[in-house]
Amino acid sequence: MLTLHDNITSGNGYKCRLLLTLLKKPFKRIEYDIDKGETRTPEYLAKINPNGRIPVLQLEDGTCLPESDAIMWYLAEGTEFLPADRLARAQALSWMFFEQYSHEPNIATLRYWITHKVEMTPERRAALPGKRVQGQAALKVMENHLAKHGWFVGGGYSIADIALYAYTHVAEQGGFELKPYPALNAWLKRVASRPGHIPITKG
C-alpha cells in the first residue's frame, strides 16, 4: 500500500490526500508534528526526505518521492486529472510552479505563522508586509484567469486546480480577504462540489 508522510494542517499534504481519495487509491497516512521538528530528525532526513519536509509519498518498494506537485504528477499520469495534450500538460506545470513560487511562500506561510502561533521573530516581522502584497498579487493573477476560464488548464478539473485550491481555500486563515475575487470564489465552490471531494481536515 502507498504511504503518505504527512501533516494534517498542511495544504501541500492535502493536495496528495485529496488526489489519492479522488483516484480511490488506498493509502496509509503517517502524521508528523512539524512544530516539534519531527521531519528534521536524523532518521527522517536519512530515510524519508533529506530536505526535511512533508509530504512524501512512499511507494510499495520503499522509494520516497517528496514535493507535493511531483507526487500529484506521479499519481495523475494517465488519469483524467492530467491532460494528455503536450501544451496543456506544460500549462498545468506552469500553474503548479506559479503556486510553489509566487503563491505558497506568501499565502501558506502567513497562514502557518498565524494558525501555528509561531514566534514573530524580527525576520518574520520584516517579511510580513511583502508577503501580504505578494499573496494578494497571486490571488489577482488567479482571479484574472478564472474570469475567463472555468478551470486552470485544458477545460477541466486537473491537478493544477488541486495545487492552487489547497492553500487558496484557507487563505483567510492567513488574513487574506477573498471577497474581492468573485471568479475565484465561484471556482472554489466548483472544486468543493466535485464528486468525492474531501476537506483539508480529513486524514
Residues 6 or more apart whose Cβ sits within 8 Å of residue 11: 104, 108, 111, 166, 167, 170, 200
Please pick, from the candidates 3, 41, 100, 185, the single residue that binds its own copies as defined by CB under 8 A.
100
Residue 86 and residue 155 in contact, taking contact as beta carbons nearer than 8 Å: no
* Window 53-92: contact mask with its own copies (x via CB under 8 A): ------x---x-xxxxxxx-xx--x--------xx-xxx-
Q: Grid coordinates representing 160?
A: 493544477
Of residues 49 and 195, the one with the C-beta less far from its own copies: 49
Distance CA 16, CA 40 (A): 21
Handedness of CA 9, 187, 164, 162 (dihedral sign): positive
Please pick, from the candidates 23, 127, 183, 198, the single residue that binds its own copies as defined by CB under 8 A.
127
Regarding 119 and contact with its own copies (CB under 8 A), the answer is: no
* Window 136-175: contact mask with its own copies (x via CB under 8 A): --x--x--xx------------------------------
DSSP SS3 for 80: coil
Please pick, from the candidates 62, 126, 148, 179, the single residue that binds its own copies as defined by CB under 8 A.
126
The distance from CA 80 to its chain's CA centroid, rounded to whole angstroms, is: 19
Regarding 27 and contact with its own copies (CB under 8 A), the answer is: no
| Residue 195 beta carbon to its own copies: minimum distance, rounded to whole angstroms | 26
b/e code 167-183 from CB counts within 10 Å (16+ = b) = bbbbbebbebebeebeb
**Which residues would be at the binding site for its own copies (CB under 8 A)?**
50-51, 59, 63, 65-71, 73-74, 77, 86-87, 89-91, 93-94, 96-98, 100-102, 104-105, 122-123, 125-127, 129-130, 138, 141, 144-145
